[in-house]
Amino acid sequence: MRAKRIRNTPGNEKGQSLVEFALVVPLLLILVFGIAEFGRAWMTQNILTGAAREAVRLLAVPAPRGGPNAANLRAVAVLASAGITADNVVVIDVIVDGVVSVRVDYNIPVVVVGFIPGLDCTTIPLTSTTTMRREY
């Protein structure tokens, strides 16, 4: 017995590549934009951590440096150097039992609102807290 040979004709597959491309591109774009937003949020979180460290260091050293107001100004200056506006930033400093703590809160605006499924908010809240022991 001879096996039948199946012959594919190019006419039967017209448009197949276009349909596959149309199915894959939205998923690929969601993945790319999701990675970009995550990277932006991670970078902003690192900047908040740096600002909190700078502010808490001013409060932890014994030299007179202006007190809590100077710490707030320093945190805002670090954030401003990274392009983060101070109107969305909240700096909270706490001094308890020789321990100084600074918390920096920021709501990062989402660039691709509505494009990523499940991400219905316009901002993502980020917080960074740094604690140091006061030096006497």
As for how many domains the chain has, the answer is 1
Report if residue 3 sits inside a domain.
Answer: no
- If you ran DSSP here, which 8-state letter would residue 66 be given? -
Report if residue 6 sits inside a domain.
Answer: no
Residue 97: how many CA atoms within 13 Å on its side-chain side? 0
pLDDT 10s digits, 25-53:
988 988 888 898 899 999 999 999 998 89
Residue segments in the chain with a per-residue pLDDT below the cut of 70: 1-3, 6-12, 62-68, 86-89, 113-119
| Domain span holding position 63 | 18-133
Report if residue 62 sits inside a domain.
Answer: yes
- Tokens 């590549």 sit on residue: 17
Token pair of 46 as six digits: 């690192």
Q: What is the pTM of this model?
A: 0.74
